[in-house]
Amino acid sequence: MLTLQEIKGFGPKRLSAMAEKGIRTSEDLLAMLPRGYHDATHPVSPGEMVEGREAVFEGFVRGNLQHHYANGRNWVSGTISDGFSSIRCMWFNQPWMREKLKDNDPVLLYGKAVRKKNGLFVINPSVEEEKIITPIYRTIPGVGQKTLRDAIALLLKEEKTPDFLPAEIRDRLQLMEHHAALAEAHFPTSTQTLEAAKKRLAFDELLLFQAAIAGQSGVRSHTVPLPIRKEDLERFVKSLPFRPTGAQQRAMEEIAADLGKDVEMARLLQGDVGCGKTMVAFASLYLCVCAGGQGAMMAPTEILARQHFESAAEMLSPLGITCGLLTGHMTAAERRRALEAIACGEWQVVIGTHALISEDVQYRNLKLVVTDEQHRFGVRQRSMLEEKGENPHVLVMSATPIPRTLSLILYGDLDLTVIDELPPGRQPVRTRIVPEAKRDGLYRFIEQQKEAGHQTYVVCPMIGEDADEEDEEGRNAVAELKELTEKLHGCSVGLVHGKMRPQEKEDVLSDFYSGQLDVLIATTVIEVGVNVPNATVMVIEEADHFGLAQLHQLRGRVGRGSGESWCFLMADPNERLRILTETEDGFKVASKDLELRGAGDYFGTKQSGEPAMPALCLTADTAVLEQARETFLMLCRREEYRETYQGLSRRAEQKYRENALALARN
């Protein structure tokens, strides 16, 4: 295949600009799929142009274009008509358009209609040469769209990329051949073939992602089975002040069975907020200690680690288990004492933050590693904790509800246990959509909640660097702090966001947890990491800026105590947000989110500013998830496809190299 340096028009400046965007090879350029398309295959008449809509329209130039000057600006304008209807067009700083478009010339134009004082206009429409679908690529400074299109067309023509999928599988799944799909994705011949191309390329990305995970995890190591006794689990259950749900009981039994095997457990414990995952994790740690091992549990924030420690001590100490807490903010004497207790095995269960994986932490006999909120830890962090023991069992927890098929792909190296049942008596969170006109009433409600002894979260989509700057895109947390401090009478208001120093963040969260703050303004940093039973109100500003699954996660921060709890979505009412007012089932919410947004957003991990799976982001066909999962399992399990699977693994290793998995999991 030609190198980028061999392509005409790609000089040092353009090559440097492309390299800054991560495009260094011809393969990189072909993998840069269009961010959108101009579809000129079905033009509308000028009269069918609608305000705010981008479209291709055709007609004839009526009269010569006029040149205008006003207020230091210059533009040309003209009328496009098809004999039945017409629309005015304006081109700013493009005087040459007067020579390009003459009276009675047939034209095909692409643009967006906007309403001005004198009616509907199309501003700076582009002249389309043919009735084709034209790819639009992301902007690369100094490299024009035509230059990119010409280079990609040359590469596609110059060498056909091989297809790693056997023809029989392609035919059975009705998938387009790979090179044809790549060519169609860049230069579609029709909307139908474009959809087929997107599906094939998304399918390939999912296969490669799963192969990369399998390659990272490899074959699970053998370990010494733990002598798990049924009566130990029964003793734990009897000690609880409540009866476990059927889903919790099933999860504990699955984990107990894993701990008794001679291969490492690698299990994902997934469940909605409030389903009781933490209790299942404590049961696992208890069984590990009863069998002679030591257990460690890592949480993403210090305050959550402290809460887990307090809960573990309350639940496990009466059963004779010694628990300890290790964080990064201990005095030298406290840390020295903690390290001694861990190394000699005095602390049978160790709970902490990233401090658990520090180089100077040595465990006596680490047999079980539990990580809470798995998506906040990379693979490397999890591995560092695992390396503290000899092939310890691993349990990872996530409160992010993800449809089952998507979980199997995202966490293909883990067995899956889903707790799909909430404990009886849990208070529902009453969810309402609140338009801007009712904001003052909301503020009075927050004040009433404060008077009743309750607390409130307010979540903003952006941080905002300056409280005085006017943010045209929406409400930011810094400006919100100023506004609420002025408008909420008698309420103490605090702010926490991701750009704060870790200790500063922990201090604010601690103040809210202890009740010193009545209202906590935050970004999504509070999506996980703090459990405040006294917080009964969640306000989410600009709710339309968030996905449904994320809104559900944020809603889960309230409803943890005995008081009635509320979630207010600040937005104009719409069908998407109404879903949250109708159900509290996180898996139903996530499934609807997947249906509405497509799988691309779930895999839209940013790498050098671009999605890791561009083809998946272009298609909303979620059926491709099922097909990709089933095909991957067939390729890796059946002998006749061994060569195909090995080739797939090599491609995955090349694509995802060292840190790609850590990025995909963070």
User: pLDDT digits over 343-357, tens only?
Assistant: 999 999 999 988 898
Q: Are 75 and 28 contacting, i.e. CB atoms less than 8 angstroms apart?
A: no
Q: For residue 614, give Cα distances in angstroms to 33, 236, 344, 372, 601.
A: 7, 48, 50, 29, 10
DSSP states along 293-344:
-EEEEE-SSHHHHHHHHHHHHHHHGGGT--EEEE-SS--HHHHHHHHHHHHT
Of 23-27, 117-121, 601-605, the least confident: 601-605
Most confident of 12-21, 301-310, 409-418, 649-658: 12-21
Contacts of residue 615, defined as CB under 8 A and 6 or more positions apart, other chains included, come to: 33, 185, 198, 201, 202, 204, 205
Contacts of residue 396, defined as CB under 8 A and 6 or more positions apart, other chains included, come to: 267, 268, 269, 370, 371, 374, 382, 411, 414
CATH 3.10.450.50 fits 429-583, yes or no: no
pLDDT for position 36: 86
Average pLDDT on 567-588 reads 91
Give pLDDT tens digits for 613-623. Answer: 666 666 656 67
**CA 478 – CA 541 distance, rounded (Å):** 13
Quickly state the pLDDT bin for 601 (edges 50, 70, 90): low
Average pLDDT on 440-466 reads 90
How many CA atoms are closer than 13 Å to the CA of 153, on its beta-carbon side?
11
pLDDT for position 606: 38
pLDDT at 177 over 90: yes
DSSP states along 115-158:
EETTEEEEESPEEPSSSSEEEEPPPBTTB-HHHHHHHHHHHHHH
Q: CA nearest 508: which of 301, 666, 335?
A: 301
Contacts of residue 585, defined as CB under 8 A and 6 or more positions apart, other chains included, come to: 272
73-81 and 54-70 strand pairing: antiparallel
Query: Per DSSP, what are the bridge partners of residue 494?
Result: 520
pLDDT for position 529: 56
Helix H or strand E segment including 429: strand 429-434
Per the prediction, the chain carries an average pLDDT of 86
**CA 252 – CA 207 distance, rounded (Å):** 32
Quickly state the pLDDT bin for 153 (edges 50, 70, 90): very high
b/e burial code for range 572-589 (CB count within 10 A of at least 16 → b) = eeeebbebbeeebebbbb
Residue range(s) of every CATH 3.40.50.300 domain in the chain: 248-419, 429-583
Q: Which token pair is 503?
A: 């200790």
Q: Are 396 and 414 contacting, i.e. CB atoms less than 8 angstroms apart?
A: yes
Domain 42-127, architecture per CATH: Beta Barrel (2.40)
pLDDT for position 617: 63
Residue range(s) of every CATH 2.40.50.140 domain in the chain: 42-127
Which of 3.90.550.10, 3.40.50.300, 3.20.20.80, 3.40.190.290 would CATH assign to domain 248-419?
A: 3.40.50.300
Residue type, 572: D
Quickly state the pLDDT bin for 660 (edges 50, 70, 90): very low
